[in-house]
Amino acid sequence: MQIPKNVWEQLIRHFRCELPREGVGVLTGTPAGVHYLKLQNTAQNEAHFRVSPQEWVSLLHALEEGNERLLAIVHSHPSTPAEPSSEDLEGFSYPDAYMLIVSLQHPHAPEAGLYKKTGQRIERCPFEII
């Protein structure tokens, strides 16, 4: 996957503003390019994220109407590495999308991991910021 630099910078700004909570959003795609849409984290606990069912359904309808694809569900780990937690693995149920985790353990040098889940298997995938 290729993520445009301006999209990367947009999601990093969003996640820094959410600290100490986890931030959440999605990467979407059209023939014209990749976009980032931030979502509201409704979780009560700082170390988790949750999106309201209403916001999620609205997002899926908007993607369908705009002929966009859900490329990746993106969330931050404010103080842990960019690796899926057991909760991330259990809650990820979109086999056609990637999971991009951004670690802000070092806020001025964010690290990220891109993952694809197939059945019960999780695989780290390459990506680049262009």
Q: Does the structure show a pLDDT above 80 at 31?
A: no
Contact by Cβ (8 Å): 42, 70: no
pTM of the model: 0.92
Note the helical H segments in the chain.
5-18, 53-65, 86-91
Number of C-beta neighbours around residue 80 at 10 A: 14
CA separation (Å) from 77 to 6, 15, 36, 80? 21, 9, 17, 5
Give pLDDT, residue 116: 94
Give the three-class secondary structure for 98.
Answer: strand
Q: Is 102 exposed, middle or buried (0-12, 13-18, 19+ CB in 10 A)?
A: buried
Domain that holds residue 19: 2-129
What is the number of structural domains in the chain?
1
Provide mean pLDDT across the span 91-104: 90
Q: Residue 17 is part of a domain; what is its CATH number?
A: 3.40.140.10
pLDDT digits (tens, 9 = 90+) for 46-81: 778 899 989 999 999 999 998 899 999 999 999 999
